[in-house]
Structure 1
Amino acid sequence: MAAITATTMRKVVAFTLSVSVDLLLFYASGFAVFHSVFGHFTRVWLSAALRWLALIGVSLLTLGVPKALLIRFITAHSLLPAVFETGTNALYREESECGQLGDVRCWLMFSGASLAAALFWEITIPDTDEDPTGKEKKQKARVLFMRVVRLYRPDYLLMLGGLVFLSLAVICEMFIPFYTGRVIDILGSNYQQNDFLSALLFMGLYSLGSSVSAGCRGGLLLCVINSCTCRIKVMLFEALTKQEIGFFETIKTGEITSRLFKDTTLVGKTVGLNVNVLLRTFLKTMGMIYLMMNLSWKLTFLVLMETPITSLLQNIYDTHFQRLSLAMQGSLALANEAANEVVSGIRVVRSFNTEKHEARHYDSRLMDTHELKTQRSTVRAVYLLARRLTGLAMQVFVLYYGRLFIQSGQITMGNLVSFILYQSNLGTSIRTLTYVFGDMLNSVGAAGKVFEYLDRKALVSTDGKLKPDQLRGHISFRNLNFAYPANPNKTVLQDFSVELKPGQITALVGPSGEGKSTCVSLLERFYEPQDGEILLDGEPLKSYDHCFLHKKISVVNQEPVLFSGTIRQNIEYGLKGCSLDEIKEAAMKVNAHNFIMQLEKGYDTEVGEGGGQLSKSERQRIAIARALIRRPLVLILDEITSSLDAENENKIQQSLSSIPNQTLLVIAHRLKTIENADQIVVVSGGKVKERGTHRELMDMKGSYYKLREELFTEGNSPQ
C-alpha cells in the first residue's frame, strides 16, 4: 500500500512540475514575440526544442526513463505550436493569434490536440504486448502487415501502375464538388453563360477521368491480388508438405485446409483490397482537407474534431470484432474437420447407421459458428449506428456555423455547398480509414496463422547433403529408443538393434502394435528416434540428401495409396523421364501388365480418387511397381501380401529374389514369405526377442515357435 501511495505521489509531483514548467516556457515564448532578436520561425522552433528538453528532463528526474507513449505525447505537445504557426503562415501569410500572444486558451488547445493525437496513435496502431513470461514475443501487427506487403514484391510494377491510376482518380474526383459549388455561385449571382458552360465542361471531364482511372486502377490491383493469393497458397502448401509426419498427427486436417484455402484468400484478397482502399481514401482525405482549408479553415477544424471520437469507436469495435473473427475461424475449422471425417469415412458411417448422428454433430458445429457470426454482426450493427449518429451530429454543427459565416460574409453560399459536399465525403473517408485499418489488422490476424506455418521448421531435418556415387545398402538400427510425438509417455521401441545386409531378406515378425511398422517409419525418416541412430553404410540417415535417400529406399504399405490420375502416372510418380517400356517392365515384375492391358485405355486408365476404380489387389501391385521402377537398394514391404492371391504372391517373390544385392525388409504374417527369409527378427514390446533363420528359431521353440502356432497356422497361411 505504501509503495502504491509513493508511486502515485511521484506521478502527481511529475504532472504538477511538468505543467508548471511548460506553462512558464509557453508564456515566455509568447512574451518573446515583442522582445526577441530571433526571427519568427526561429523563435517558435527554438521554443519547441526547449519545451521538449524541459519536459523530458522533468520526466527523467521524477519518473525515470519515460515510456514510448509519454515520449510521443511530449513530442507532439512540444512541436504542435511550431507546426501550427509554420502551416498558418504558409497557407494564409499571417501569424495566428496564438503566435502573437500565447495564453492559457492556446496552451489548452495545443495540449488537447496533442493528447488526441497520442490517443489516436495508441488506439489505432497499438503495440502488441509481449508474453507475460517474457520468453516468447508475439509478432506485432505492423510487422505482419509489412511481411504481407513484401509478398507483393514480384507485382510491384502492376502495383505502381495501379497507384498512378488511383492518384488520377482521386484528383479528378476531388474537383467535382468544387465545380458544383461554382455552378451554384454562377447561377445565384450574375449569370454568365460562358462561365456556366466552362464549369459544366470541367465537371464532365473530371467525372470521365475519375471513372476511367478508377476502372484501370481496379483492374490492375485485382490482377495483383489474384497473383499474390496464388503465390501465398503455393508457399503455404510447399511449407506444409515439408513438415514431419508427427505434425499432421497433431494438427487436424480441417484446420490445415482452412488455413490453406480460407486464410490465404483472406490475406491476399482482403489485405490487398484494403491497401487499395486505404491509399485511395488517404489521398482523397488529404486533398479534401487542403481544399476545405481554402474554403473555410474554421469549419475545417470543426469537422476534424470528429476524428478522435471516430477513432475511439473504431478501436472498441476492432477489439471485439477481431476477437470474434478469430473465434469464428477456429469454429469453421472444426466444422470442416467434422465434414471431412464423415466424407472420408462414409463407409463406416453407413455401416453403423450413424448418418443422423453425424448430421446432428455437424449441425452443432455450424450452430457454434452461427452464434459467433450473430455476435459479430451485432457488434458491427451497434458500431455502424454509433458511427452514423456521430456523422449526423457533425453535419448539424457545420450547417449551424455555416449559416453564421454566410451572414458575416466569411463564406459564400456556393462555397458552403462545396464545403458540405467535401465534409460529407471527408467524414466517410475518415471513417473508412479507421475501419479499413482495423479490418486490415483482422486480416493480419489470419496472416499470423499463415506465417506461423510458413515459419515452422520441421522437427525432422531434411538438410543432409551426402550423395555418394556408390552405395551398398547396409542398414544398422543401433540402440533405438522411440516414442511417438503424439504420445511421448508410451515407449514403442526400447534398445532396438538390427542389421539389414545387402542381398538378404530380413523379416520382422511379432504381434500387432509391438513396433514393427515403427521401424519402417523411422527408416523412412518420418520421425527421429529419441535415442540411438540408424546408419546407412555407416553414415547416419540424416546425413544423406533427402531426395537421394528416398530414391534409394522405397516402401510399399499394406494399404496402398494411389492418386487421382492414370495408372502410368501413378507408377512413375515422383520420377521424370520414365519411358513406357520401363513402366511396363515394372508392371510385369508384379504380374500387373496383363490386367492393365485388359482395361479399355491400358496404362492411360484413370484410377479414380484414391484408386477407387481398382480392386485392392490391383492397387497393391501398382504400388509395388511404383517402388520397383525406382530400382531401390533398400526395399521395404509392410504386410503387402495380405491382399494378394497365391499366384501373384509367387510371381512377386520370384521378381524380388532376382534382384541382386538388394536389401529387402519384409513385415508379413504369411508363412511362405517368412520361412524363406535369410534373417527373421521377432519383435515384442519394442525389443528384439529372437533372431535367426526359420529353422533355427523353430529349433529354439521360443517366441517365434509360439507365434507360428498362434498366427501362422495352416489355415491362415498357404504352404
Structure 2
Amino acid sequence: MAESPRPGGSARAGGPAPRGSLGPAWLGAALLLLADWALLRPALPGVASLLVPAALPLLRVWVGGLARWAALGLGARGVLRATVGPTREGGALGGLAALQPLAAALGLALPGLALFRALVSWGAPGGADGARLLHWGSRLDAFALSYAAALPAAALWLKLWSLWARGGPAGSADPVRRLLGCLGAEVRRLPLVLGLLVLSCFGEMAIPFFTGRLTDWILQDGPASAFTRNIALMSILTIASATLEFLGDGLYNSTMGRVHSRLQGQVLRAVLRQETEFFQQNQTGAITSRVTEDTATVSESLSEQLSLLLWYLVRGLCLLGLMLWGSPFLTLVTLAALPLLFLLPKKLGKWHQMLAAQVQESLAKSSQVAIEVLSAMPTVRSFANEEGEAQKFRQKQQEMNILNQKEAVAYAVDLWTSTISGMLLKVGILYVGGQLVTSGAVSSGNLVTFVLYQIQFTTAVQVLLSTYPRVQKAVGSSEKIFEYLDRTPCCPASGVLTPLDLEGLVQFQDVSFAYPNHPDAPVLQGLTFTLCPGEVTALVGPNGSGKSTVAALLQNLYQPTAGALLLDGKPLPQYEHRYLHRQVAAVGQEPQLFGRSFRENIAYGLTQKPTLEEVTAAAMESGAHAFISELPQGYDTEVGEAGGQLSGGQRQAVALARALIRKPRVLILDDATSALDANSQLRVEQLLYESPERHSRSVLLITQRLSSVEQADHILFLEGGTICESGTHQQLMQKRGRYWAMVQAPGGSGDPE
C-alpha cells in the first residue's frame, strides 16, 4: 500500500527547484491521471474480481480502491521525485503538492461511499446491491463521482496541512500546533465536544429526513400509526439534538474561557521577563495590544469563530454524506454548481467592500473639512472665506454621493447574483430530481429530503467560506503572540545567591556602559568607586552626566558593557531576583505609583504581606503618615491612576516609604526629594544622617539640591561619564573645582537648577 497522504511528504530537498522543472511535473501529473482512466479503470476491477468472490461486492470495491490508491500514490511520488529530488518541500510546487492526498482521496472515495450506503441500508431489501452499483470500473458516473469527491477533499487537506505544517511560508512556528498546545489539559475535552457535535448534527438531520418520510406517507395515504410514529421520532431526535448542542457549546465555551485566561497570563509573564531595553525599543501601546487585543482576538476566534467552523464543517460533512446516500447524481449537480454559487458573489462582494471603504474614506475627508473649518473660524472669518469653505465641503459631498450610488449598485448586483444563483441551483435540483422521480429512481419524499439537505449544505458552505478568513486572522494574531512567548530575554537569568548576612558593600570596578540602541555613545567610562555600609555617598554633576544610569546599573536594570559591579564581592546577576530587589531599593524623582490603596503601594512587591503597623512605621519615616492619616479611609484610600490624586511631594513620600519598609542594605535616592517641602526635606536628611538604621545600609544620594549633600561622607562629581572630583564637602570646596563652581552658581545651594 502507498504511504499515507501528506502534501509534499515525498518531495524534500535542500535547494530551490529549477525554474523549468514545473512543466515536466505537470506533464507527469497529467499522464498519471490519464493512466488512471485508460489503464487502472479497466484493469483493477478484473483483478479485484479474480481475488474476491462475487458474493462480497463491498470487499471487491475496497480491494479495487486500495489498489488504485497504491498505484496512484507510487506514481505521484515518482513524479515529484523525478522533478525536484527526494527531499524537496512539496509546498514549493503549489498545486502539485496535492497529488498524494488526491491519490488517497481517489482510492478511498468510492469504497467509503459504498461502506456508508451498506451501513445505512443494513437489512433492507436490495441493500447488498449498493456496493455493486458503485464499482468504478464499470460505471463512468461512479468514476466521475470519485473525482468530484476527491478534488475538493485533496484541496481541503492541502489547505489544512499548510496551516499545520511547521515553518510555513511566512516563517510561522507551527501556529496551529501552538494554539492547540495552549489548551493544555483542556485538550482532553475536545473529543467529547466533537462527539457531542457529531451526534447533535445527526439529530438535527431528523427534520429533513422525516419530512421526506411524511411526504411519502401523504402521497401513499399511509396509516395514521406511521404518521404518529414518525412525528414522535422526529420530536425525540430534535430535542436530543438541542440538548447535545447545549452541552457541547457549554463545555466548549467554558474550556475556551479558561484557555483565554491562561494564554493572556502566559503572554504577560513572558513580557515581564524581558530586559529593560525591550520596553524602551517597543512602544507601550504595541506591547499592550499584544497582551490584550491580540490574545482577545485569538481567544474570540477560538471560542466563537473556531466553534462555528467546527460546527458547520461537521454539519456540512454529515449533510454531504446524507446527500450522497440519497442521490449521488443530484449531489454531483450540487457540487458542480457550488463554484457558480459562491465564487461570483465573492468577487462581487469584494467590489462592494472596496466601494464601502471608499465611501467611509470620503466621509472622513468631508468630516475633516468641517472639523478644520469649525476649529479655525476666526481665521476663516478674518479672510472672509466662508463661501470658499462651504464650496469645498460641497465638493466632498458630491464625491461621496457618487461613491454612494456606486456602492448601492454594487450591493444590488451582489444581492441579485447571490439570490439568482441560489434560485437557479434550486430550480436545477428540482428539475433533475423531478426527472428522477418520474423515472422511479427516487421517491417524492426522498427528493424533498434531498432539497432540504441541499439548502442546509449550501448554507454550511457559505458560513465556512466567511468564517475561515477570521480563523486565519486569529492564526496571524497568534503568531504575534508567540513572538513574545518565544522571545529569550537578553538580561541574564536570575541567580541563586540569597545570603542571610548581606553587608551592602557595593563596588564599581572600571565600569563602562552604553545603551544598546546607541552602542557608539558611551554614557559611563571607567567608573570606579565604592559604597560602604553606614556611609552616604552623594553623586552630583550636570544634567546628562550619567547619574541616573549609575542608579539603573545598581538596580541590575542594565548590564555594564565593560568592568564589574559587585555587591559584597559578588556580581549583581548572581543574586536571586527577588532577594536582590529587597536588598537594593530605589526611589526616583518621578516615582510610579499604582491605582491601588496606600497600603498596597507601600507593601508593593513584598512576598510576605506586612502588618499595618509596619506600613505605618515606614510611612512615618518618610513623612507620608501625616497626610495619609488625615484621609477618611486612611491607608485604604485609593491613590488614583498612577497616583494622580497626589501631589509630586506626596508621591515621593509614599515611594520612599515603599523603599524603607524593605529595610534595604542599599538605598538609592535619585533626586527623590526634589518635590518635598522644607519640613519633609529635613526629615529625610535626618533619616539619612541621624537615623539609628543608617549604620546598616549603604546610601547612594543623587541630587541637584547641593545643600543635602554637605553632610555626605563622600561626594563624587560626575561629568561626561567619568568621576572628575571626589571627597567631602570641605575638601571639594577647598579645591575650588567643578563642585565649587556648581555650589557658587545661582541656586546651587538651594533649590535644584
The answer as to 2:646 corresponding to 1:606 is no
Shift of 1:476: 1.7
Shift in CA distance, 213/120, structure 1 to aligned 2, threshold 3 Å: closer
Give the structure 2 partner of residue 268 of structure 1. Answer: 299
> Match of 2:253, as an amino acid?
L
Instruction: Find 1:503's aligned residue among 534, 556, 566.
Output: 534
| 1:677 match: secondary structure | coil
Within 2, Cα distance between the matches of 1:215 and 1:202? 20
Aligned residue among 731, 743, 749 for 1:696:
731
When the two chains are superposed, the root-mean-square deviation of aligned CA atoms in Å is: 4.0
**Structural mapping, 1:425-436, within 5 Å:** 425-436=456-467
Partner of 1:237: 268
Matched, 1:646 2:678: yes
Give the direction of change, closer, same or farther, for the CA distance of 1:51–1:452 in structure 2 (3 Å limit). closer
Counterpart position of 2:595: 564
1:68 and 2:103 matched: no
Q: Does residue 590 of the first structure (1) align with residue 606 of the second (2)?
A: no
Q: Which residue of 2 aligns with 1:358?
A: none
Instruction: Compute the displacement of 1:424 (Å).
Output: 0.5
1:29 aligned residue: 43
The correspondence of residues 43-442 of structure 1 with structure 2, limited to 5 A, is 44-61=65-82, 63-65=84-86, 68=90, 72-87=97-112, 89-90=114-115, 91=117, 92-96=129-133, 99-101=136-138, 114-123=150-159, 126=162, 138-139=171-172, 143-156=174-187, 162-163=193-194, 165-306=196-337, 391-442=422-473
> Given that residues 128 and 138 in structure 1 are in contact (C-alpha distance below 8 angstroms), is that contact kept between their aligned partners in structure 2?
no
- Partner in structure 1 of residue 122 of structure 2: none
CA contact (8 A) 2:48 2:64 kept: no
Q: Distance in 2 between matches of 1:642 and 1:232?
A: 42
Deviation by residue 1:646-672 (Cα, 9 ceiling, x = unmatched): 332222222223221311000012222
How far residue 448 of structure 1 moved from its aligned partner, in angstroms, is 1.8
CA shift, 1:388, in A, is 6.0
**Does the 8 Å CA contact 2:26/2:96 hold for their aligned counterparts?**
no
How many angstroms apart in 1 are the aligned matches of 2:36 and 2:77? 11
- 1:523 corresponds in structure 2 to 554
Aligned equivalents of 1:538, 1:386: Cα separation in 2: 80
Number of residue pairs the alignment of both structures matches: 663
Cα distance in 2 for residues equivalent to 1:543 and 1:177: 71
Alignment partner, residue 720 of structure 2? 685
Aligned ranges 1:412-491 → 2 under 5 Å: 412-491=443-522
Return closer, same or farther for 1:34/1:454 CA change in 2, 3 Å cut-off: closer
Query: Deviation per CA, 1:296-326, whole angstroms, max 9, x where unpaired?
Result: 1221233233566789789989999999xxx
Q: Which amino acid aligns with 2:727?
A: G
Label 1:265 to 1:5 Cα distance change in 2 as closer, same or farther (>3 A): closer
- Say whether 1:621 aligns with 2:653: yes
- Provide the secondary structure at the position in 2 that maps to 1:675: coil
Checking the alignment, whether the CA contact within 8 Å between 1:14 and 1:62 is kept in structure 2 is: no
Aligned partners of 1:165, 1:673: CA distance in 2, in Å?
74
Q: Quick one: distance in 2 between partners of 1:121 and 1:320?
A: 29
Q: Which amino acid aligns with 1:414?
A: G
Distance 1:488 1:460, change over 3 A: same
Q: Post-superposition shift, 1:423?
A: 0.6
* Deviation for aligned residue 1:37: 5.2
CA distance in 2, matches of 1:671, 1:184: 99
Cα distance in structure 2, aligned partners of 1:137 and 1:656: 58
Residue 27 of structure 1: CA displacement?
Answer: 5.3
Distance 1:45 1:690 in 2: 89
TM-aligned CA distance change 1:377 to 1:459, over 3 Å: farther
Q: Give secondary structure in 2 for the equivalent of 1:461.
A: coil
| Partner secondary structure for residue 305 of structure 1 | helix
The change in CA–CA distance for 1:235 and 1:313 in structure 2 (over 3 A counts) is: farther
What's the secondary structure of 2:521's corresponding residue? coil
* In structure 1, C-alpha distance between the alignment counterparts of 2:556 and 2:232, rounded to whole Å: 74
Distance of aligned partners of 1:24 and 1:173 in 2 relative to their CA distance in 1, 3 Å threshold: closer
Structure 1 residue 507, shift from structure 2 partner: 0.9
Shift of 1:81: 4.8
Matched, 1:547 2:578: yes
AA aligned opposite 1:53: L
| C-alpha contact (below 8 Å) 1:591/1:651 kept by paired residues | yes
Say which SS state the counterpart of residue 688 (structure 1) adopts: strand
TM-score of the two chains, using structure 2 as the length reference:
0.78
Q: Say whether the 8 Å CA contact 1:672–1:717 is kept in structure 2.
A: no
Aligned with 2:709: secondary structure? helix
Report the secondary structure of 1:95's partner residue: helix
173-182 vs 255-264, which deviates more?
Answer: 255-264
- Structure-2 residue corresponding to 1:705: 740
Confirm or deny that 1:666 pairs with 2:701.
yes
Alpha-carbon offset, residue 430 of structure 1: 2.5
Equivalent of 1:630 in 662, 670, 674: 662
Shift of 1:165: 4.2
Using the TM superposition, give the Cα deviation of residue 35 of structure 1 relative to its aligned residue in structure 2, in angstroms: 8.2
> In the alignment, is the contact (CA less than 8 A) between 1:466 and 1:543 conserved in 2?
yes
Change (3 A) 1:315 1:537: farther
Cα-to-partner distance string for 1:232-252 (whole Å, 9 max, x where unaligned)? 222222222332232222222
For 2:171, give the aligned amino acid: K
1:633 Cα offset (Å) = 0.2
Query: Normalised by the size of structure 1, how large is the TM-score?
Result: 0.81
* CA distance in structure 2 between the partners assigned to 1:420 and 1:149 by the alignment: 37
- Unmatched tracts of structure 1, length 5 or more: 332-373
Taking structure 1 as reference, are residues 225 and 60 closer, same or farther at Cα in structure 2, changes over 3 Å only? closer
Please give the alpha-carbon distance, in whole angstroms, between the structure 2 residues aligned to 1:291 and 1:538.
78
Which stretch of the first structure deviates more once superposed, 115-124 or 529-538? 115-124
The one-letter code matched in structure 2 to 1:182 is R
**C-alpha distance in structure 1 between counterparts of 2:132 and 2:203, whole Å:** 33
Q: Distance in 2 between matches of 1:319 and 1:63?
A: 37
**For 1:320 and 1:630, how far apart are their aligned partners in 2?**
65
Q: Distance in 2 between matches of 1:513 and 1:419?
A: 80
86-95 or 498-507: which moved more? 86-95
Measure the CA separation in 2 of the matches of 1:229 and 1:382.
Answer: 41
- The letter of the residue matching 1:60 is R
Mean Cα displacement is larger for which, 498-507 or 574-583? 574-583
Deviation, structure 1 residue 377? 14
Q: Secondary structure at the match of 1:706?
A: helix
Q: Provide the identity percentage.
A: 32
Counterparts of 2:551 and 2:602, CA distance in 1 = 21
Q: Which moved more, 1:175-184 or 1:600-609?
A: 600-609
d(CA) in 2 for partners of 1:421 and 1:380?
Answer: 28
Q: Distance in 1 between matches of 2:587 and 2:681?
A: 14
In structure 2, the CA distance between the partners of 1:267 and 1:389, relative to structure 1 (3 Å rule), is: farther
Please report how far the alpha carbon of residue 137 of structure 1 lies from its aligned counterpart in structure 2 after TM superposition: 6.9
